[in-house]
């Protein structure tokens, strides 16, 4: 199945490469037309000067208009070429993903939080992480939305089912996902610019409260100035009077010049964000969705009163028009005649008055769609994964579950079940036998299940539950905390959460690693006994075989499992298969001797 996906991306690259060549040919022809129009224009002007014939100049309008139209056409066709090229790069990135190369995608290192319930332990963020394998977003805000979903995936069973339907629907929309992602990649949006845009409000542009007066001024002055310059052109007025009249709009402009400069500086930074979101919202609005959760996102963008793409596009155009003031000649002429800057500052204030409370929700809809698109692409790229089934029959039950971040060829699948709360599996095994990998496989798949994403298992049913882990506890020089104290605080948090009545799926790797073996054994047993009193279930990996004796005391609540190791032909052999019972084979002494550490 993976091979067919590979071929699918390769076929798309072939088709798009043909379109790319056609588009390049169109642009070459347009360039030839522009050059020809320009040469004809120069020749006509030169011929007019040479023959002293003004009539010939009229003919120069045709190549001038042709040049202008071809310039507009060039922009449109070049935009098409850029989109095709982004689509090609998008498909090439997915081919890299299928080879277990996640490097084209942002890895979410900035979201790493060692104090989080589980994300640091389970490789949710960072190089080669779950986030990096899923992430297909095009802005830092969309990344944050995806990160929050992975950090806090637990919701009700109904919401998980709705998420699954939305992800499944987008999984089937292959070309739409390609179009959406390529469009998002067209614009290099700077980090947190969209957050600044969504926080923009009309109060930042004071004045213009008397709408009737300002509409009269902004219409009346341009009409008055045009009339003055027409009269001066036909010698009905001296040019000195016309120039003196220009001081009226320029003086009015000077009164708000500081505000205009500030808003111009701000809005210029927003242009890529606005252009991107204008096109992305348009794609969302026009797509016929069926699942409830996608329709809810779409309704935020499109209703009888507003269509987000049109409103954002209008704001982008205002931004571009105001940006024209950067040309000093344009600024002087257009402000003298039409008070250009004030016209667009006024229209900007009107836009914010109408839309400032909606902009945030429009942008959030895009972030959420990008999050679902990322999960849908993950689903599409992993067709052998199955849909998790929310169920109250077991806390978690899996058949042939494996770690989704491992290459398909090296994955070893295992069956696993925790039927009830107040039930724990204690897993023993030699070093490198696969205990920690299995713990992370359970945790990561449970995160995916809670998110509504497919899981790396043949069968996976679960009762939606919050995850809490303690696997990578570290000391803190900043807080003057030892490794042991940091671990105790982690365990304390688990108990405190359970005392509030919260249900937890607990994943622990070597309880109390930071103390002596006797203290560790006694403390570990007491901790397990403590959490057995509450609404918790989970798995505990340990090298301490004495912890397995808890099964004698709690036969209905404790199960012993192990990963084995064999020594064959002076080599360690691991099968990475989970078995019932307690591990009897250890390998530390063998490895130390093998590596020359001991004799």
Residue of 291, 288, 297, 286 lying closest to 163 (CA atoms): 291
Q: Is the pLDDT of residue 282 over 90?
A: yes
Give me the pLDDT at residue 263, please.
81
Give me the pLDDT at residue 591, please.
53
Who's near 328: CB < 8 A, 6+ residues apart? none
User: Is the overall model pTM greater than 0.85, yes or no?
Assistant: yes
Coil, helix or strand for 5?
A: helix
Q: Is the pLDDT of residue 273 over 90?
A: no
Who's near 24: CB < 8 A, 6+ residues apart? 81
Q: Are strands 414-418 and 389-390 parallel, antiparallel or unpaired?
A: unpaired
Integer Cα distance of 297 and 295 in angstroms: 5
Integer Cα distance of 434 and 212 in angstroms: 75
The CB density around residue 2, as the number of other CB atoms within 10 Å, is 12
Integer Cα distance of 337 and 243 in angstroms: 11
Q: Is the pLDDT of residue 96 over 90?
A: yes
The percent of the chain in helix, strand and coil, each rounded to the nearest 5, is 60, 10, 25
Q: Report residue 514's pLDDT band, with 50, 70 and 90 as the boundaries.
A: low
Q: Is the pLDDT of residue 435 over 50?
A: yes
Find out whether 347 and 324 touch, Cβ atoms under 8 Å: no
pLDDT (average), residues 95-120: 94
Give the CA dihedral 394, 399, 400, 406, nearest 10 degrees. Answer: -30
Q: Is the pLDDT of residue 567 over 90?
A: no
| Residue range 363-383, pLDDT digits in tens | 999 999 999 999 999 999 999
What is the residue-wise DSSP string for 62-131? HHHHHHHHHHHHHHHHHHHHHHHHHHHHHHHHHHHHHTT--TTS---GGG--TTSSSTTTTT-SSTT-HH
Give me the pLDDT at residue 98, please.
93
Give me the pLDDT at residue 587, please.
57
Give me the pLDDT at residue 258, please.
85
Where is average pLDDT lowest: 121-130, 276-285, 355-364, 523-532? 355-364
| Residue range 462-493, pLDDT digits in tens | 999 999 999 876 544 344 456 778 888 899 99
Integer Cα distance of 286 and 294 in angstroms: 12
Residue of 91, 74, 86, 84 lying closest to 30 (CA atoms): 74
User: Is 409 exposed, middle or buried (CB count within 10 Å of its CB: 0-12, 13-18, 19+)?
Assistant: exposed
| Residue range 196-222, pLDDT digits in tens | 676 777 777 887 878 888 888 889 888
Residue of 471, 479, 468 lying closest to 506 (CA atoms): 468
Integer Cα distance of 505 and 129 in angstroms: 21
């Amino acid at each position: 199945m993976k091979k067919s996906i590979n071929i699918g991306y390769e076929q798309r690259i072939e088709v798009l490469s043909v379109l790319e060549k056609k588009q390049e040919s169109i642009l070459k022809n347009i360039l030839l037309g522009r050059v020809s129009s320009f040469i004809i224009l120069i020749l006509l002007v030169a011929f007019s000067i040479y023959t002293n014939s003004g009539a010939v100049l009229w003919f120069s309008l045709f190549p001038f208009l042709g040049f202008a139209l071809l310039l507009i056409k060039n922009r449109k066709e070049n935009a098409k070429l850029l989109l095709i090229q982004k689509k090609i790069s998008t498909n090439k990135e997915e081919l890299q993903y299928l080879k277990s190369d996640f490097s084209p995608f942002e890895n979410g290192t900035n979201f790493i939080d060692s104090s989080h319930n589980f994300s640091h332990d389970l490789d949710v963020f960072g190089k080669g992480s779950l986030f990096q394998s899923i992430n297909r977003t095009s802005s830092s805000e969309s990344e944050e939305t995806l990160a929050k979903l992975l950090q806090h995936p637990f919701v009700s069973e109904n919401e998980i089912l709705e998420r699954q339907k939305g992800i499944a629907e987008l999984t089937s929309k292959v070309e739409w996902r390609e179009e959406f992602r390529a469009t998002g990649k067209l614009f290099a949006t700077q980090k947190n610019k969209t957050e600044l845009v969504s926080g923009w409000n009309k109060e930042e542009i004071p004045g213009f409260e008397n709408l009737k007066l300002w509409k009269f001024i902004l219409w009346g002055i341009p009409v008055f100035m045009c009339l003055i310059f027409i009269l001066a052109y036909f010698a009905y007025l001296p040019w000195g009077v016309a120039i003196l009249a220009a001081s009226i709009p320029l003086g009015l402009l000077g009164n708000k010049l500081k505000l205009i400069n500030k808003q111009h500086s701000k809005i210029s930074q927003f242009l890529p964000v606005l252009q991107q979101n204008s096109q992305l919202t348009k794609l969302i609005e026009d797509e016929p969705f069926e699942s409830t959760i996608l329709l809810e996102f779409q309704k935020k963008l499109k209703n009888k009163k507003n269509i987000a793409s049109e409103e954002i596009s209008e704001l982008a155009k205002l931004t571009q028009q105001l940006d024209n003031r950067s040309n000093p000649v344009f600024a002087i002429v257009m402000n003298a005649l039409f008070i250009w800057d004030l016209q667009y500052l006024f229209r900007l204030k009107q836009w914010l008055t109408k839309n400032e409370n909606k902009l945030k929700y429009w942008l959030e809809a895009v972030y959420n769609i990008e999050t679902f698109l990322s999960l849908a692409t993950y689903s599409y790229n992993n067709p052998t994964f199955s849909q998790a089934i929310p169920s109250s029959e077991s806390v978690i039950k899996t058949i042939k579950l494996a770690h989704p971040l491992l290459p398909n060829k090296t994955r070893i699948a295992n069956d696993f079940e925790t039927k009830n709360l107040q039930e724990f599996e204690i897993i023993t095994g030699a070093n490198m036998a696969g205990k920690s990998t299995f713990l992370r496989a359970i945790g990561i798949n449970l995160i995916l299940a809670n998110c509504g994403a497919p899981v790396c298992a043949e069968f996976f049913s679960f009762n939606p539950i919050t995850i809490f882990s303690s696997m990578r506890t570290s000391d803190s020089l900043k807080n003057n905390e030892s490794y042991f104290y940091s671990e105790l605080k982690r365990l304390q948090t688990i108990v405190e959460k359970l005392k509030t009545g919260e249900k937890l799926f607990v994943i622990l790797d070597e309880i109390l690693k930071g103390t002596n073996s006797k203290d560790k054994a006694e403390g570990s047993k007491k901790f397990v006994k403590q959490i057995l009193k509450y609404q918790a279930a989970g798995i505990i990996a340990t090298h301490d075989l004495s912890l397995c004796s808890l099964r004698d005391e709690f036969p209905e609540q404790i199960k012993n499992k192990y990963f084995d190791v064999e020594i064959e032909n002076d080599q360690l052999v691991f099968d990475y298969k989970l078995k019932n019972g307690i591990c009897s084979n250890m390998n530390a002494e063998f490895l130390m001797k093998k590596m020359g550490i001991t004799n």
